[in-house]
Each structure stands twice: as C-alpha cells, then as structure tokens.
Chains A and B, each alone.
Chain A
Amino acid sequence: MRYLPLTDNDRQAMLAAIGVASIEDLFADVPAAARLEAPLDLPDHAGEMEVERAIAGLAARNLSPATAPSFLGAGAYRHHLPATVDYLIQRGEFLTSYTPYQPEVSQGTLQYLFEFQTQVALLTAMDVANASMYDGASACAEAVMMARRITGRNKVVLSGGLHPHYRETAATFARYSNAEFAAAPPDVEGVEDLGAMIDGETACVVVQNPAFFGHLGDLAPLAARCAESGAVMIVAVTEVVSLGAVRPPGEMGADIVVAEGQSLGNPLGFGGPYVGLLATRDKHVRQMPGRIVGETTDVDGRRGWVLTLSTREQHIRRDKATSNICTNSGLCALAFTVHLALLGSAGLKRLAAINHSVAVRAADVLGAVPGVEVLNDTFFNEFTLRLSKPAGAVADKLAQRGVLGGVPVSRFYPRESELANLLLVAVSETNSEADIAAFAGALEALL
C-alpha cells in the first residue's frame, strides 16, 4: 500500500463536506485544559541518513548488556545465543506463520510445538505442557486461575520469594474475580514457612525456585502440606537454565509448573516478547489454558500432529473456556526449542554448571569487597548482596562507571526501606573474569 498524505485541497474538501471550517472545530467538545495549545514540538522531517545518525546517537547513550559488563537479572537473563537459533527461526515458513487457525495443514508448526511441549515436560518433570504462554508472569497468573478451577476455592497464597511482577500480574488477572490473595512478606533470607497460611480454603500456593532473592529450596515438604489441605502447589521458575542443575519442580510434588523461557533462545530485548511455559499433571489437563498439540496418525498410518483438547478453548467453549488465550508465543517458543535442541540434555547441564560456577566465583569476589555482604547460603546464578549504602544510587553510579551491576531490590519494593540496600546480582556464562573484576573494583570505589 502506498502512503500519500492528504493535500490541503483534500482536507478543505472533506471539511466542507461535513460542514466545519477547520480540523480544530472537530475537537470543540474537548475541554480547553485537556488540549494542546500549540502543535507538538517535533522536529521537521529529515532524510534517511540524518535519521539513522540521530537514532544511532540516541542508542549510543544506552549502556547495553551486550557491551558492558552486565549482572542484570531479576527475571530476565542474558545468555549466549548460538547464531543457529536466529538463522533457523528466520526461515520464512517459521517467521511469518501465525498461530494456525486451520492447524492440520501446518504440520511443521505443529511438529515444533509438539517438540517444545515435550522439552518443557521433560525439563519440569511434569506429565504435560501446553504450546506456550505469553511470558512467565502471565503463565503464573493463568496457573492461579487454573488452580481455582481445579479446587473450586478462591484463596491464593503467594510466597515472599515470588517475583513481584508475577505477584502483581496474578492480582491484575484476578482483579474482577472473587480471588483472595495472601502474600507473604519479601523473603530476603529464604527462610519463610508458608505452612501456617494454608488451610482448607486454600486454592493454591505459589512459590518460586530459585526464588526472587536467589535462594533454592526443597519444595517437597510444602507439596505435602498442600496435598494435606487439598491445595494446588504452583512452582514458578524465572531462570529456566537453572533446570539444568536444580531438581525439577515435578520431582518435588508440584501440581503446576510455570516458567519464563526467555533464557533459552531469546534475547533480553527490552523485556519482550518472551515465552511462558506451563506444565501440569495429566489429571489437570482439561483445566489447562492454551493450545495443546497432540501426536496422532493419519488415514495412511503416518505420524502427524493435531491441535487437541480444543474444547477447553475460547473459539469452541466461548465464555466457559479455561482461558482467553487463543494463541501462543510461537516464534519465541521455536527459538527456545531450537536452542534447547542444540544444547541437548548434556549441554544444558553443562551450561547450568558453568552458570553456577561463574556465579560462585562472582559471589566470592564481590563478597570480599568491604561493605558488601552476600545474603545467600544457596543460589543458582543469582544472589542478593546487602550493601553499606542504598543500592539504587550505587547501581546508578556503577552504570556511570560502565558496569551494569545488578538490579536494586528497591526497583520492585520502593517503599520497604529495610530492603533499600539490597542488590540482586545475576551471573551467566557470558560474564568473564574481567567483568567480575570490573564490577568488584567499581563497587569498592563507591562503598
């Protein structure tokens, strides 16, 4: 389609046709206080080269995790993406295809989604996974609604180790329902016991492992406590690479596992698009949201794929659907699947081991800086530091020194003054010894 702006004559003709003198007259009903007095102060048009130069100049003012030593995490993690991932997902058959509305003609799409589901089920040690959600936080919110359908109860218990964004998203999804949320206070030390918050009215308990502050835990006792009360245990994982090293939630009694899959195959990308993982037990599959691809055979006995259990879904079940999600994060799920297939089981374990060992090294070096205390006894690749000064200001000053030195907890808990000095530090295989030294050196100079 060509874009040709209107001429003044075009505008005059249209205004004359509807009987007003100027475009301004169309807005006469909008109170003056709500209107601009003068046109927006935008620069005049410019040529392509000028625009490129201007935008590149703006971009250069960013401090990017791709170039600076970066220890940013808190739910989004930088990992090395093999070039193969981008090459494969950019094949036209994958890149331009939307969620299949006539699914069975899109066997290639269904096949990779089936592979994705298989990988997710294996990673989480659950029976069944769907074809992906939009991100970890919305997958978590969907899991809460799913648990309420399973139990017919409304009380939702949230761990203080759950990512604050996940907590807020769950509350937003449930805002116009009769869900009652009970959120435990921020679990900085990784010592909370949710047992007393669970009773016969509890629909679900949502915990995160590794937790927001980095701690790892054995969730089996909590699972037993949930089972005793008939509550559903939902486990959220924000760093999916951890599943290469940490006991999967399915082996600790989780009923539903949700995860952010960004770490595999997907760049930080300013926060999205990401890919949510959701897996559960066979017995709950009909309460699961989202699309599910199933394997079958065609009339000639050949292996093929179909969308299955679609009667849960909005296009068939209307207002009784399990969810209003009618699609998935197709391309991000593909990137996840390609990356994980390239790694394989042994590769994922090795990647997880490298992440952990680099993180241990970073914790040792940073913990030796005067004014820094490492709060974690356990962690995977992210831990919490308590600094001798407010972490927000320190992080700003670290950035001025060219180091993206973690995420201040105050970004998520601005009003909790007791958390002001806490800094979340994520480490991955992308961090070199020089990165760690630069971070420690800058921190030492600032504290």
Chain B
Amino acid sequence: MSEMKFSDEHEWIRLDGDIGTVGITDYAQEQLGDVVYVELPEIGKQVKSGDEMAVVESVKAASEVYAPVSGEVTEVNETLSDAPETVNADALGAGWFVKIRLGDPSELDKLMDEAAYSAFTAGLG
C-alpha cells in the first residue's frame, strides 16, 4: 500500500493497486465536530478530480467532500450510514468514505504528502 496523500480540501487517499481509498482528514473531522450523517455517492459513479462526491454533516455544518482524483467509485463505506461517528473515531482508517479506481494515477503527484499537509493545516491557524 502506498503512502497517504492529502488534498487542500482535507481529503486523504491511499492507493492499493489501482484502487484509492478516500476519506476526510483528522483535521477535518476535528473542525466539523460530531459527524451525524454522511451522504455517499452511488457505486459506479464517475468522478473527476475536484468534483463534489459526498456530503458530511456534523452538528455544526454540512460540508461537501471532493474527489481528490478522477476515476470510478467502486465501493462506499456502508457502515457510515448507521455509524457516522466512525468518522470522528477513526478518520484515517475505519471512517473511510469511498474507494475509487483511478483513471490517472499521476494525479496523485499533485497532492500533498503528510509533512506538507501538516504544514498546510498549521498555516490555517
């Protein structure tokens, strides 16, 4: 499995073969507060990098989750419909949102590594 990459919209992606697992970052879940609902895309949906792909609702706000890469949605995390709090408990693991079959793996190069993302969020204050 490859290293985790991060977008400036606070999504993470980790590649396994040609399938990328996508979720929101720990920073994002902390900013949102208690997550109460996650709206996931349909399996088979084609997304382009930057497209709105899912919606995450907390007690404070509703936010769009954007596709960090282009490709086809192959799987969604059904456990989030019954247990959205998983996003708070384990954002980078069990709280994943979707799996995407990457159309163009080179898009990953445009994303940040962990160090760059840490510096990015530190700069957000």
Contact = CB atoms under 8 A, between A and B. Distances in A.
A304 B74 CA distance: 43
A286 B37 contact: yes
B64 A320 contact: yes
Contacts of A316: 61-62
A411 interface: no
Contacts of A432: none
A311 B62 contact: yes
B39 interface: yes
Question: Which of A311, A316, A317 has the most B CB atoms < 10 Å from its CB?
Answer: A311
Given A286-B37, A286-B39, A311 B64 contact: no
B57 interface: yes
A277 B39 CA distance: 26
Contacts of B55: 320
Interface string B62-101: 1010000000000000000000000000000000000000
A311 B57 CA distance: 7
Contacts of B39: 286
A320 B37 contact: no
B62 A317 contact: yes
Interface in A267-300: 286
B61 to A, nearest CB: 6
Contact of B61 (A286, A311, A312): A311
A105 to B, nearest CB: 18
Interface string A304-320: 00000001100011001
A408 to B, nearest CB: 48
A97 to B, nearest CB: 25
Nearest to A318: B62
Nearest to B52: A320
A311 B35 CA distance: 12
Question: Which of B37, B57, B64 has the most A CB atoms < 10 Å from its CB?
Answer: B57
Contacts of A320: 55, 62, 64
Nearest to B59: A311
B71 to A, nearest CB: 20
Nearest to A313: B62
Nearest to A152: B42
Question: Which of B37, B55, B62 has the most A CB atoms < 10 Å from its CB?
Answer: B62
Contacts of B37: 286, 311
Interface in B8-66: 37, 39, 55, 57, 61-62, 64
A133 to B, nearest CB: 22
Nearest to B56: A311
A177 B11 CA distance: 31
A123 to B, nearest CB: 28
Contacts of B61: 311, 316
Nearest to B42: A152
Interface in A297-342: 311-312, 316-317, 320
A311 B39 CA distance: 12
B26 to A, nearest CB: 22
A316 B57 CA distance: 10
A286 B56 CA distance: 12
Question: Which of B37, B39, B64 has the most A CB atoms < 10 Å from its CB?
Answer: B37
Given A286-B37, A311-B57, A320-B62, 10 more contacts: A286-B39, A311-B37, A311-B61, A311-B62, A312-B62, A316-B61, A316-B62, A317-B62, A320-B55, A320-B64
Interface of B: 37, 39, 55, 57, 61-62, 64
Nearest first, the 7 closest Cβ-Cβ pairs linking A and B are A311-B62, A311-B57, A317-B62, A316-B62, A316-B61, A286-B37, A311-B61
13 contacts: A286-B37, A286-B39, A311-B37, A311-B57, A311-B61, A311-B62, A312-B62, A316-B61, A316-B62, A317-B62, A320-B55, A320-B62, A320-B64
